[in-house]
Amino acid sequence: MNTDKKKVGKPLLHHILSLALAALSVVAIVYYGSLPVSYDYKIGSIAVSDIYAPRTFTDTFETERKAIIARENAEDIFVKSQTVSDENISRTKQFFELADQVRTDLMRERVTNPQLSSSEGANRLAKKVSQTLKKEIPAAKLLSFIDMSSTAFPFIRDKSVSMAQLLMTEEIGQDDLSSKIQVQISSFKQTSPSYSSYADSMSAVLHAVIEPNIIYDETASADAAQNAYNSVMNDPVTIDKGSRLVESGSKIDEHIYRNLVDLELIRDNKFDLVILLKVLLYVAVLVICGLFYLNSEVKRLSVDNPVFYMLIITFLVPIAASIYLTRLSSLFCIVVFFTAVSSTYLGTHNGIILSLLNFMLIWPVHNFDTQLLFVNIIVIVFCAIFAGKSARISSNASLILYPTLAAITASLCYGFLNGATRDEFISSGVFALISCIASLVAAVGLSPIYDLLSNAASPVKLISLSQPGQHLLKRLFMEASGTYSHVMMVANLADAAAEAIGADALLCKVASYYHDIGKLEAPMYFTENQTDGINPHDALPVMDSVKIITAHTEDGVKLAKKEHLPSAIIKIIDEHHGNSVPAYFYYKACEEAKAKGLEPPDINNFRYKGHIPSSRESAVVMLADTTEAAVRSKKITTADGAEELIRVLVKDKIDHDQLSNSGLSFDDIENIIRSFRQIYEGMFHERIKYPS
């Protein structure tokens, strides 16, 4: 038990250590590539060369300066005070109450002292106003309030109070107080011309008792100033990549020095812990995302050790190369080299995800260039599509041509949308062309070496395994000729079906050649190899027969691993019967149990020990194998009869959940049935009867 754990744990430990070493290598490479050029300048130094912005950045010095100016220039906030307004109206009313009191007192005193003048009353009123309202009004302006008739006084009082109330409905400051009062007085003169002689006195009173009703709001003013500051800070001044920051021979002032510091261009030659921490955090986030993805795909990814280590090395090559390539141009990136290799061995989907991860690790070295991001996302998708389905002879040309055209087109589109100059158009197009062609030519050129080192189901490997001279195919032909004939027919069916649904036809065809190699362990126990009419199963108990029949998938997997067949073919060998039941032997066991008066045996004891198909290719081989065996067994001789039987077989597979994990749609299944029928139409066509 411990020995098994060691066998399983040792490769896993090697993989973990390899991934950890690769992650550390990435950190070191990205750290080194992210170090900017440093300048030993201080404020007051003279620049010895031009300095250009390596990336678009925020000019914090200028942004903060503008924000402070905006804060200082923000207008103060004044708000209407209802308290002040009410006090103004109250003082107006109080004035007329005082005036009425003085008028009453003066009238009573004149009874005993007729010589008492109106001027005395005006002086008394002025004094009372000063003492009570704390307002100073010249007595001459108050004389008319003493002399006016008893009918005029209430009218003037009401009009004055109304004016005060009307004025207080508005926001009135010190600057416009006089003009607002004058507007009210002018309106009074027009509407009441017979009382216009009192207008000046009314104006004097209103000017004296009414104060501005707006007050300074300290909190609102502070908020407005802060909002003005924040508004500028939230829309900072930016300097575009490539802009000249310093001209040769110019003086480094505080502003320029601050920009150089922000760009990390002012450094000493010591180890930069800050940049290392940034790189560690950035790489850690991406590595964690990658590990989560790989963990979710681990059941579908079957990669041999040589391929595993080969992919790690290929993953690191574009990252390491970027340190030197970025010195030529920020658009010189060879990430599609990894895309072509990974998509070939892991498929389109995995190739895209892992290539995007590879690019994101390269991106900091290229100063997070957005054009590089845009172009490479498009190229990665195109490259993965063609590399992931490279089963045709013309695939290498397509793999180089179409992603290159996509790279050039994407580069030109980006330049057009961003208003690039003619030189920028040419430069970006040329580097996109060079990057793509160099990457893909290298990937195609190295593919034979990759195939030699790995055991994956690459097109070259599959074509080699399809040759009749291969060791296992020779054994099938010599030791199990019936099975050899069977697998050849299955291969034709699977090839046609895979083409019909857009699956990997080459993999289906070659996997079909090897799907029954497990029968080499006991070829005569399978009916297609029995030529003398003797069936060994007639002399065996049912369960012994079941063990022999169902063991051929497990025996096939063992033999395939011993012969180092690609993992994709091994998986199809394991899955081509799923966990179905050989119906003949189960039916025979049920009949024997019935004859003995026993319960039917447990059906699970009769199942194949494999797994249900986990890919479209595996499902295609299963259906082709089932179809060929059934049509041969039923001795069907017409295409219509074959199609009718095929539909029954497919329905049975669906009913028993053998295709639930295959990814086949009902449209795919219909296309598979049609392709099978087309093959049998070619087999069952009418022939001319030749004479004896």
Average pLDDT over residues 367-391: 83
Residues 205-221 pLDDT 10s: 999 999 998 888 888 88
Mean pLDDT, range 582-596, rounded to an integer: 83
614 Cβ neighbours under 8 A, 6+ residues apart = 300, 571, 575, 661, 662
- Judge whether 256 lies within some domain: no
Q: Who has greater pLDDT, 585 or 327?
A: 585
Alpha-carbon distance 189 to 352, whole Å? 87
Total domains present in the chain:
3
Radius of gyration of the chain (CA): 48
User: 22 or 655: whose pLDDT is higher?
Assistant: 655
Q: Is the pLDDT of residue 3 over 50?
A: no
Task: Please say which residue of 172, 200, 216 terminates a domain.
Answer: 216
The 3-state secondary structure of 444-476, one letter per residue = HHHHHHHHHHCCCCCHHHHHHHCCCCCHHHHHH
Q: Got the DSSP string for 53-64? A: -SS-EE-HHHHH
Asked if 343 contacts 375 with a C-beta cutoff of 8 angstroms, the reply is no
User: Is 600 in the same domain as 617?
Assistant: yes
One domain, residues 304 and 406: yes
The residue count for the chain? 692
318 and 432 co-located in one domain: yes
496's tokens: 């046609």
Diameter over CA atoms, the chain: 170
pLDDT in tens, 404-454: 898 899 888 988 888 777 877 888 888 888 988 988 888 888 877 777 676
Query: Per-residue pLDDT for 135 more than 80?
Result: yes
Q: Do 490 and 630 fall into the same domain?
A: yes
Nearest to 576 by CA among 515, 666, 663, 650: 515
Q: Would you state the pLDDT for residue 98?
A: 92
Same domain as 412, residue 391: yes
**What phi-psi label fits residue 44: left (phi over 0), alpha (psi between -120 and 50 degrees) or beta?**
left
Question: What's the pLDDT band for 267 if we cut at 50, 70, 90?
Answer: low
Q: Are 536 and 525 in contact (CB under 8 A)?
A: yes
Look at residue 40 in the predicted model and tell me its pLDDT.
Answer: 76
β-strand partners of 246: 51
Pick the last residue of a domain from 422, 456, 490: 456
pLDDT tier at 457 (50, 70, 90 boundaries)? confident
- Is residue 242 in some structural domain? no
CA 374 remoteness from chain centre: 13
d(CA 491, CA 148): 124
Q: What is the pLDDT of residues 512-563, one digit of tens each?
A: 999 999 989 888 888 888 877 788 887 888 888 889 888 899 999 999 988 8
What the block records as the tokens of 507 is 């993999």
List of residues 6+ apart from 1 with CB closer than 8 A:
none
pLDDT (tens digit per residue) in 151-209: 899 999 999 999 999 999 998 888 889 999 999 999 999 998 989 889 999 999 999 99
Of 606 and 242, which is predicted with more confidence?
606
pLDDT digits (tens, 9 = 90+) for 474-501: 998 898 888 899 999 999 999 999 999 9
443 & 339 share domain: yes
Q: pTM of the full predicted structure? A: 0.52
CATH of the domain at 587: 1.10.3210
Whose tokens are 């004859």? That residue is: 595
Output the six-digit token pair for 218: 């300290």
Give the least confident one: 46-60, 291-305, 547-561, 621-635.
291-305
Give the DSSP H/E element, type plus range, for residue 496.
helix 481-501
According to the model, what pLDDT value does residue 394 have?
43
Alpha-carbon gap, residue 172 to 82, rounded angstroms = 12
Domain limits for position 385: 2-34+272-456
Q: Does residue 264 sit within a domain?
A: no
Which comes out higher in pLDDT, residue 369 or 299? Answer: 369
